[in-house]
Amino acid sequence: MLDGGLVMHYQPIVNLATFEIVGFEALMRWNHPDRGWVPPDVFIPLAEKSDLIVELGDFALREAVTAAGGWNLTDESFITVNVSAHQFSVPGLAATIETALAKSGLSPSQLVLEITESVALRDVAGTMRTLEYLRRRGVGVALDDFGTGHASLSYLVDLQPTIIKIDKSFVNPRRTSVRNDIVLEAILFLGHNLKTMMLAEGIETPEHLERLRGLGCQMGQGYLFSPAVPASQVPGQLGHRWLESIA
């Protein structure tokens, strides 16, 4: 499965006050020799059923950290990499990260791990220890898909995330409703009081953007700005002033 078909793409993360790019989320793509592009929501859940996710996850971390090392990011900018709960259940995650950072020249604070709760944490104590170790070295932690799945409120207390990623189902609901608005406002209220940076996923329209800006959400990503793009297009995105045209 790892025969050359895996690549990382990068989706810009935008400061919703200034429209500057503040980071990129690394997202895995698999170009299968016969089946063409297989979306990650197909192969990641399969990989999570076995130790393959550890291999895929190591690849994602090394690849993304190496690429970002060459982008001349400002000190405040960062790359986020999705990390599956299973990757914490084998030793070596912290070592993989530290080695990749040292080789690339990226500083630890320019890396943010997205804790994706598609599966519940297996070894909560061990995971917390690894995260605490990495956090002390400056690596950031983002709580992904907040408000859905296993992403429970207790993680806000225990993980002390640097970033909360508001799930796209709240940002971009199938149907607008007062109930959805209340939940969205409550999530942002929580984030502001916890002094945690808030990042809205799935911003697709100027209406979504204005709503989130109005609620004081600091960062966002979504098709309104850009989908994930190949690494070759990242320097162009960093130099471009296309974001001004959205405002």
Q: Using the rule CB under 6 A, which residue among 145, 211, 219, 237 binds ligand G?
A: 145
Q: Minimum distance between the CB of residue 153 and ligand G, rounded to whole angstroms?
A: 18
Question: Which stretches does DSSP call E strand in the chain?
Answer: 6-15, 21-32, 36-38, 78-84, 111-116, 140-146, 163-166, 197-200, 219-220, 229-230
In the range 156-195, which residues lie near Mn ion by CB under 5 A? none
Identify the residue among 28, 30, 86, 114 touching Mn ion (CB under 5 A). 114
Distance CA 10, CA 56 (A): 16
CA distance 121 to 20: 34
Q: Which of 204, 213, 229, 238 binds ligand G (CB under 6 A)?
A: 204
Which is closer to ligand G, CB of 6 or CB of 73?
Answer: 6
| Residues ≥6 apart with Cβ < 8 Å to 9 | 26, 27, 28, 29, 228, 229, 230, 231
- Least distance between ligand G and beta carbon 233 (Å): 15
Q: Does 123 bind ligand G (CB under 6 A)?
A: no
The piece of 120-128, 189-197, 216-224, 232-240 that touches ligand G (CB under 6 A) is 216-224
Q: Could you give the string, one character per residue 55-94, with x where binding to Mn ion holds by CB under 5 A and - elsewhere?
A: ---------------------------x------------
Q: Beta strand 111-116 with 140-146: parallel, antiparallel or unpaired?
A: parallel
Q: How far apart are CB 105 and ligand G at their closest, in Å?
A: 21
Which residue shows structure tokens 């001004």?
A: 244
Strand partners, 10: 26, 229
Question: Which residues make up the interface to ligand G (CB under 6 A)?
Answer: 11, 27-28, 39-41, 44, 57, 60, 82, 84, 116, 144-145, 168, 201-204, 221-223, 228
